[in-house]
Structures are given as C-alpha cells and as structure tokens.
A and B are shown apart, each in its own frame.
Chain A
Amino acid sequence: MSGSNRLAGLKARSKDTTVAEVRRVDEVGEARGFVDRSPRKKPGRKPSPRTHQLHPKVFPEVGEAIAAEAERLGITQGQLVEVMWEAYQTRSDG
C-alpha cells in the first residue's frame, strides 16, 4: 500500500451539524449514560483582583471614624490606610 493517489479516492460523507442535530445526538447519548462529563468550574466567588488586603481589627469608634473620613475624602478605606501609612513613614523618617 503506497502512494497518495489511492487516498484521493477516499470520500467523506456530508454530515449535518445543526443545533437540533447535536441536541438529538446528546439526547440519544444521555439515554444510554453518555452524559456531559465536562469538568465543572470551581464553585464560589472568583477571588478579588485586589491583592494585599488588610483586615485589621480596631475599636468600633476607630473603625467608624476611618469609614467616615474615607467617605468625606471620597476614597476607599484602603486608600485612606495607604495615605495614613505614607504619613507614618514620613514622620518616622523625620
């Protein structure tokens, strides 16, 4: 057996691949136990894109004060902590 001329005689039949056909094939398969076994996505909320988050425990009045100040400045509490850290570093250096 050699030569591609022999292979040229091989023909593929046309096969419909409409959504309805695929659904019918799925139904036939499922009835025989050929079910969808695609790996499932990991359940739960996707991790936040923001990293290096802090979760400090503070007295309630301090927490409320930080939240109020952040709101007044129009920034997030995290951004306020960054400002506070910068101020702390400046004071430490001085």
Chain B
Amino acid sequence: MPVIVMASPKGGVGKSTCAVVLATEFARMGADVTVLDCDPNKSLSRWASHGLPKGVTIHGDIGRAEIVPTIKAADGDGKIVIVDLEGVASQLVSRAISQADLVIVPMQPTALDAEIGSEALALVLEEEEALGRSIRHAVVLTKTSAAVKSRVQKELEEQLRGAGLDLIEPSLVARAAFSELFAYGSDLTAMMKDPEMVTGGKVDKALENAQKFTEAVYERLK
C-alpha cells in the first residue's frame, strides 16, 4: 500500500496538519494507517498522546539512519504509511522522498512558502532523474481563507499550474478545528460528538474539507 510523504524545508506550512487529516480520514475509511513522526518538534506524537483513533499507529523519533528501514517495515498489505517530516533541508527528507508513492508539498499561499517549498519539488525531480523512476508529487495550499480566495492565492495557483505542477483541490482551509486536533487528539468526528471539546469553529465544515482533501489524495494513489 502507498507511502505518502509530507515534505517542505519550511516549518509551519501545515505538514503535520495534512498528515493528521489524512491519517484519520484514511483510518475512518478502514485503512490500517501507520504514521511516522520524523519531526523533532514531535507534533504528531503530541497529537497521539491525547488519544489515537482506531486504525492508526504511530512511530516517533525516526532519524536519517532509520527512515528507510522503518518505512519498509511499516509498509504492507492494507496499510497506508504517512510520513511527517521535519521542516528543514536534510538527508532525512531526501531519503524519505525516495520511498514515496506520493509526495505532498503543503504551502501557505505566500511567496515565501512557495519559494522554499519549491526546493522540495526540485529535489523530487532530481531524485526521479537519479533513480530512473517517477515519484508522484503534488502541492496543497494550506491555511487558506474560508471566505474569499485572495489575489495572492489566485496568482500562486496560476503559477503552479503554469509550471505543470499538480495542485490538490480543495486546499486546506484555516479552521480552528484542525489546530485543536493537536490539543484533543483523535479525529474530527470525535470532536463533533464530544461537547466537551470546544474548538470555537465549525467542526462540520472542517470535516467536510478534510474528507474532500482526502478524496483528492486518494484519487492520486489509484
């Protein structure tokens, strides 16, 4: 089953949020999901410490030497492996990309995120050339406005498409519920059912966004 790698040398672009959203939604579909937390900030391990949804297992503290064998060991029938990487340019990142069936490069709709994120995209292309095989990759815009699409976002989307890049739609909207997943653990459906989980946002809208995003990723894995 596929290995999905979240990559961007820039921190704070939404790699961990994308990883949690995909892990929880694929698990809800019945997949056995293994999440590898390779970020020294341990965002996913913190999320997991509050409770994991059924079907998700997590491995943390994975370094450069362990990444390839750990992905190999986690991969198997009926399993989806999701790798959340550190927000720096490291060999850990390049090695993880080499094992991916899909590399997702999240970026906020800003020039800085696009510029730094493009380093990861360039690395994927160079690894494809060096290894002599294609590595599917796509960009997802994150923390976008729910109300209006900004001029910068429109221009960035145009540029990405113009460069022949695969842009995952929908984007991940800036929703309080996504941030609160790291405070409460588990998934968005649990958040909806538990009145004690207060997000101050629209969980149903976040869930709808998460489902459509996961569906778009699923289409790229077929």
Contact = CB atoms under 8 A, between A and B. Distances in A.
B191 to A, nearest CB: 19
A35 B90 CA distance: 5
Interface stretch (A3-11, A42-50, A53-61): A3-11
A93 interface: no
Q: DSSP majority for the A interface?
A: loop
Interface in A1-30: 1-4, 6-13, 15-17, 21-22, 24-30
Interface stretch (B64-72, B139-147, B148-156, B182-190): B64-72
A8 B80 CA distance: 11
Nearest to B64: A38
B72 A32 contact: no
Given A29-B123, A35-B89, A2 B29 contact: yes
B131 A25 contact: yes
Given A25-B130, A29-B123, A38-B63, A9 B90 contact: no
A34 B91 contact: yes
B127 interface: yes
Given A1-B211, A26-B91, 11 more contacts: A4-B78, A7-B30, A8-B78, A12-B1, A12-B75, A28-B127, A33-B119, A34-B89, A34-B94, A37-B64, A38-B63
Sorted nearest first, the 3 A-B pairs with minimum C-beta distance are A29-B94, A4-B30, A37-B90
